[in-house]
Chain A
């Protein structure tokens, strides 16, 4: 075999192997959709067969009984307000923190970064009691405050990294024109932060939307429960009625998957760049 032919053969082999990997990766998602769209007795008859004809009963029942609609609204409110708070407080703080290279200011920056390695579990119980004593359990506020504080380390880390590489000239020109520091931030610096703000929004929104343990502690069993908590209570309620459980799962993941496939380029870049720091 000549060299190009051998290379083409190897390329084809690689493509076949990767197609196999793709099938293996999609298999659990196929299972999710298939169980959600089949009658329980059809699932029992053949676990792997595709759902023809499609049965919509599971989805209808999951939608009406699990209050998935309400949970989707809750998750949307909590996620968007938390992300807004993070962008606001995080960019504002980093605007000052990124400029301090030593002394107390740099110490405060390090204090924020330290938060990246403190496990949530260490403060989980005292924080729970703090929320309880403040009467905030079972409210959106408890979750928004929690996510804002908990995700600030990553947010400050990302914003400061970007700000340190940003030329100072624009900001200084604003000062020369008589702008106050806040005006310089709002009109000049913040608009230039757009790329990193995108990363901050993507990483935080996904984390907050998907988070389970804290919302379970704060809002489970209330009208404020978020999507993962609703899914979990669903699992308990219908213990082995997998059709309805999976219909619930499908409703829970559909919005994320749709957004993911629309914005996949940005999301993947956000993860690759953001986590690399």
Chain B
């Protein structure tokens, strides 16, 4: 209010500069132009072009482009490798979403106590999340290698019987990949849950304890509902990360053995940049986009519902 009063009278040379304050800076769009140029060039135009090319026979060479309708998608349905990678991608994303968040929540609950060294533990658990995913992939490829550190560890505990061909066994490889990625990202979920836990007022626990609520009941009826926003965020984050997974799988298995760990991102990369089948590659990318969009849409609905309940 004082600002309003101290404003110079209309007609003074300051008036025109002061006026736009209400609705944003004068010629505000000029401020947006540089960002919009980069964003349009790198994301908007190429994504739009990709979505269009998915319905053509575009080879990537020359300018000859014919519309082919849904042919690329029809081909996808008959392509065992692509269908398999679609299944793997969804399985991987769901498994990661569950395992990573259960472990992340457990770690967060443990660190939200008066336990000794909890700052050090938090730093350690989060550390793998800052490392390059490609490095993680190479590292775990060695950890899992026959006669490698994992087998060595089992042998040290007299558990030779449990030694496996961790990345070589078709029915096991995908789960080995899940473990490596959970190791990398569990700290991320933990940190988000911890931030959520710190927002839970301690009086609520005391009140619940006074009402005779047991430990489990306090967790179920006080902690979990108040963690709902943090949970939604990390669930969607892990799901989308899982759907787009590339670097770690590329380095660890390259999609093998056979197509056992092939993901959509990996198949798309191979089709486009190894086999030069651009239009089919973009069709695969469009399928991935639609799955991600669907998950994001669900997130929006869940968030809305939570906001209504809160």
Contact = CB atoms under 8 A, between A and B. Distances in A.
B138 A249 contact: yes
Interface stretch (B72-80, B206-214, B216-224, B267-275): B267-275
Interface stretch (A50-58, A61-69, A89-97, A191-199): A89-97
A153 B21 CA distance: 25
B148 A47 contact: yes
B55 interface: no
A178 B17 contact: yes
Interface in B184-216: 188, 191-192, 194-195
B126 A268 contact: yes
Interface string B242-277: 011011001100000000000011001100110000
Contacts of A246: 139, 142
Contact of A150 (B32, B43, B268): B43
A273 interface: yes
B129 to A, nearest CB: 7
Contact of B31 (A121, A126, A185): A185
Contact of B130 (A146, A177, A256): A256
B39 A149 contact: yes
Contacts of A272: 191-192, 194-195
A156 B156 CA distance: 51
B128 A176 contact: no
Contacts of B128: 25, 28-29
Given A15-B115, A178-B13, A276-B195, A123 B50 contact: yes
A185 B41 CA distance: 26
Interface stretch (B90-98, B158-166, B169-177, B287-295): B287-295
Interface residues of A, number: 100
A267 interface: yes
B133 A14 contact: no
Contacts of A145: 38, 41-42
Interface residues of B, number: 107
Which secondary structure characterizes the binding site on chain B? Answer: helix
A211 to B, nearest CB: 8
A152 B205 CA distance: 41
B48 to A, nearest CB: 8
Interface string B117-158: 100011111111111111100111011000111011100100
A212 interface: yes
Interface in A102-153: 105, 108, 111-112, 115, 117-127, 129-130, 145-146, 148-150, 152-153
Contact of A123 (B49, B116, B140): B49
A72 interface: no
A133 to B, nearest CB: 12
A35 B141 CA distance: 13
Contact of B43 (A32, A123, A264): A123
Given A121-B265, A176-B3, A228-B132, A96 B192 contact: no
A30 to B, nearest CB: 9
B163 to A, nearest CB: 12
A105 B6 CA distance: 30
Most-contacted residue by chain B among A14, A175, A206, A213 (CB, 10 A) = A175
Given A17-B110, A152-B39, A169-B3, A213 B125 contact: no
B138 A25 contact: no
B34 interface: yes
B270 to A, nearest CB: 12
Contacts of B31: 92-93, 95-96, 181-182, 185
Interface string A26-57: 11110110010000000000111000000000
17 contacts: A15-B115, A27-B149, A28-B143, A89-B34, A125-B281, A126-B49, A127-B42, A145-B41, A150-B43, A178-B17, A181-B20, A181-B31, A210-B130, A212-B132, A227-B132, A253-B135, A271-B129
Interface of A: 11, 14-15, 17-18, 21-22, 25-29, 31-32, 35, 46-48, 85, 88-90, 92-93, 95-97, 99-100, 105, 108, 111-112, 115, 117-127, 129-130, 145-146, 148-150, 152-153, 156, 168-169, 171-173, 175-182, 184-185, 206, 209-210, 212-213, 217, 227-228, 231-232, 235, 242, 245-246, 249, 252-253, 256-257, 260-261, 264, 267-268, 271-273, 275-277
Q: Which 8 pairs across A and B sit closest by C-beta, in order of nearness?
A: A149-B42, A123-B46, A99-B24, A181-B25, A96-B28, A93-B35, A47-B152, A127-B46
